[in-house]
Amino acid sequence: MARRRPVLVAVRLTPGESADWRAKAKAAGVPLSALIRRAVARTRTWTARAAEVERERTRQVSRIGNNLNQIAKWANTHKGAAEAVEVLARLVAIERALGALARFENPERDAH
């Protein structure tokens, strides 16, 4: 027997959104309310501290991407005369950025 759910939560939608949600529920073979409960249950939320960790992680990944782009540009410019020392220095910079990123790998661990 299904568990009784006496609390109603209202959500305002456009007619298109409502049609999309209902189509998704039908395709999944569940009532719309069950689809919404499942979707919300899978949604990850963060505390303010964890949100800052996510922002820092994004900044670190951006820096790594910038370093990789610089290495690619340099390598394409100097195809025949690649200076191993400069390439290694840039790779060390990436390694350091990855190390900094690893500190933010598990924000829940730091919250306890």
**Residue 47 per-residue DSSP state:** -
- Residue 112 scores a pLDDT above 50: no
pLDDT of residue 1: 54
Structure tokens at 77: 């410019």
Single-letter amino acid, residue 50: A
* Single-letter residue type at 97: A
CA–CA gap between residue 48 and residue 20 (Å, rounded): 32
Query: Pick from 44, 51, 42, 39: which is nearest to 9 by CA?
Result: 39
Mean pLDDT across the stretch 57-73? 83
9-64 pLDDT per residue, tens: 999 999 999 999 999 999 999 999 999 999 999 887 767 777 788 888 888 888 88
Dihedral sign computed on CA atoms, order 19, 21, 27, 30: negative
Q: What is the pLDDT of residue 109?
A: 46
